[in-house]
Amino acid sequence: MSGTLWAFLPAVIAIVLALATKKVYPSLFVGILVGVLLFTKGNVMNAFSYLVMLMSEKIGSNGGILVFLVVLGVFAVLLAKSGGSKAYGEWATKRIKTKKGALLSTVALGVLIFVDDYFNCLTVGSVMRPVTDKHKISRSKLAYIIDATAAPICIIAPISSWAAAVSGFLDSDNAIVTFIMTIPFNLYAILTLFMMIVFILLKIDFGKMKKNEDIAMSTGDLLAGETELPSEDLDESTSNTGKVWMLIVPIIILIVCCVGSMIYNGFFYDWDGNMVPELQSSNIIEAFSNCDASISLGVGSLIALIITFIIYIATKALSFKDCIDSLTKGFKSMVPAILILTFAWTLSGVMGAKGGFLDAQAFVQNNMSSLAESGFATALIPSVFFIIAAGISFATGTSWGTFGILIPVATSILGTGLEVPVILSISAILAGSVFGDHVSPISDTTIMASSGAQCNHIDHVRTQLPYAGVVACIAFIAYFIAGLVMSKGMSYGAAAAITVATGIALMAIVIVFLWIRSKKKAKAE
């Protein structure tokens, strides 16, 4: 079964079951079990042995992210216990007086935290949830905004963990320059941000998202009846004497410590699992690109937590006992997200998104190479790469794994230069990978967006899929047009301008259509 289309069967089973049953844990487990049974050719004992070994490996290799998750869970409890979240919510409500203002503030914060998508998802959720709750914004809408300003902003930010990952996969002396040149062509990310802001300004919602928003506004039920993922309510232990600084200061400390840890790690981490005394980078930007984000976020968040403990105890915002009690409660609040992430990582490992086990990577590389050798039309390459990247990323739940599969294929076909065909094709891979990751139920970013918003995970997937799907369809058409333009031998600047203009023009048409449709429905009601 290795290296064949069967490698994608576990993900298909997991995704279909999750969407049909709305039960994430058993769906992912069944997908994993099917995968290891395929790998061991039906040997049950060997299958369970490989399952446990792989799950242990994934937990170990992603330990930094798990530490970061737990610490953020503890932070959420601390901010609630101290009354900081409540005080900030009341302070922000006085200044952010409209629903539109609350949504735009959430977008702005998401855009500002561009260094890492995990950090973005959980920090934006913790800070903005009290504000959006006050304005009766459904948790699914909050989750969508968090998700739509996580990976999409990271993939067009030259200084981010994503930029470092893409540069590594390019394996070229011009890697960072190539990444920067892909930014104007990354239509999915650009159009997602554009559409989200315009939808907020024009008050456009549709599909299940609109139903959830209507329920939240009319009844105050922010979860719209969905309650599987959210952790226990923390309001019971909230202090009434909290101050705004009790939320702002810890969040600033967390950001500074995490960014500082990433820079330090980039200077002294040798990627063989060792911290070394010799400098591994020549400047801060290079250090940031060379860091291991998982380890850095874990270290930075732990340091920030210790500093916050000291500040809270010294100022008598919380007692020592309250701080210690928050450790277990914070861990408990993150168990659902950790469990889903562990299953999702294991499923990706079974499929072999980065090689090994069922080796989906080999299947894609072999078939893409065959397609290139068959004389496939050059003009169609960007749009085809976009579709294939979206499919792989959706099925595996990993955009980075998709980068690792398809970028080497693209560079082997088109070369590693800075020509427009190379840049456009790599951009299409990045865009398709982000789209697939954005809408996949087994994506770690999607899971963290649900957790950050304290929203039911499958409800988040179902509500944001139509929004993301609209952008993806427009991006596909624009990439097809860009491929035709590219075949005419246009310059980089002209090709970028035409591609972006085409995407925005198509998006504007769709937005006008949806706006008129929403107005007609509002009048009919």
- Encode 373-421 in three state secondary structure: HCCCCHHHHHHHHHHHHHHHHHHHCCHHHHHHHHHHHHHHHHCCCCCHH
- pLDDT more than 70, % of the chain: 87
Q: Which residues pair with 269 in a beta bridge?
A: 275
- The DSSP letter of residue 344 is H
Alpha-carbon torsion (28, 32, 38, 43), positive or negative: negative
pLDDT digits (tens, 9 = 90+) for 122-131: 778 878 888 8
pLDDT for residue 371: 58
Collect all residues with Cβ–Cβ distance below 8 Å to 293 and sequence separation of at least 6: 64, 116, 118, 161, 164, 262
pLDDT digits (tens, 9 = 90+) for 194-212: 999 999 999 999 888 999 9
- Is there a contact between 198 and 104 (Cβ–Cβ < 8 Å)? no
Residue 233 pLDDT greater than 60, yes or no: no
pLDDT band at 235 (very low <50, low <70, confident <90, very high): very low
Identify which has the larger pLDDT, 495 or 416. 495
Give the Cα separation of 353 and 295 in Å (integer).
Answer: 22
Largest interatomic CA distance in the chain: 71
pLDDT band at 405 (very low <50, low <70, confident <90, very high): confident
Residue 148 pLDDT greater than 70, yes or no: yes
- Is there a contact between 308 and 75 (Cβ–Cβ < 8 Å)? yes
Collect all residues with Cβ–Cβ distance below 8 Å to 273 and sequence separation of at least 6: none
Residue 63 pLDDT greater than 50, yes or no: yes
Helix (H) or strand (E) holding 54: helix 44-61
Over residues 80-97, mean pLDDT = 79
pLDDT for residue 463: 92
DSSP symbols for 475-496? HHHHHHHHHHHHTTT--HHHHH
Give the Cα separation of 12 and 54 in Å (integer).
Answer: 20
Identify which has the larger pLDDT, 174 or 188. 188
The number of CA neighbours under 13 Å toward the Cβ of 84 is 22
Residue 133 pLDDT greater than 80, yes or no: yes
Over residues 235-245, mean pLDDT = 67
Q: Which of 30-39, 84-93, 389-398 has the lowest mean pLDDT?
A: 84-93
Q: Which of 14-18, 134-138, 235-239, 322-326 has the lowest mean pLDDT?
A: 235-239
3 state SS of 41:
coil
For the chain, the average pLDDT equals 82
Over residues 145-158, mean pLDDT = 87
pLDDT for residue 306: 95
pLDDT for residue 236: 45
Give the Cα separation of 167 and 395 in Å (integer).
Answer: 24
Give the Cα separation of 347 and 361 in Å (integer).
Answer: 14
Pull the structure tokens for residue 77.
Answer: 């409890």
Give the Cα separation of 147 and 120 in Å (integer).
Answer: 9
Over residues 389-394, mean pLDDT = 88
Residue 393 pLDDT greater than 50, yes or no: yes
- pLDDT more than 90, % of the chain: 23
Pull the structure tokens for residue 314.
Answer: 């010294």
- Is there a contact between 82 and 124 (Cβ–Cβ < 8 Å)? no
Which ranges constitute the DSSP H helices of 187-283?
187-202, 207-219, 245-268
Q: How open is the CA angle 419-424-425, to the nearest 5 degrees?
A: 105
Over residues 282-289, mean pLDDT = 77
Distance of CA 510 to the CA centre of its chain: 25
Over residues 59-76, mean pLDDT = 82
pLDDT band at 379 (very low <50, low <70, confident <90, very high): confident
- Is there a contact between 262 and 291 (Cβ–Cβ < 8 Å)? yes
> Which candidate, 4, 11, 52, 49, places its Cα nearest to that of 31?
11
Identify which has the larger pLDDT, 376 or 284. 284
Q: Which residues pair with 353 in a beta bridge?
A: 355
- Is there a contact between 162 and 402 (Cβ–Cβ < 8 Å)? no
Question: Among all chains, which residue has been given the structure tokens 């967390």?
Answer: 254
Residue 225 pLDDT greater than 60, yes or no: no
Residue 312 pLDDT greater than 90, yes or no: yes
pLDDT digits (tens, 9 = 90+) for 435-467: 998 998 888 888 888 888 888 888 899 999 999
pLDDT for residue 28: 82
- Is there a contact between 480 and 163 (Cβ–Cβ < 8 Å)? no
N-terminal to C-terminal alpha carbon distance within the chain: 55
pLDDT for residue 231: 47
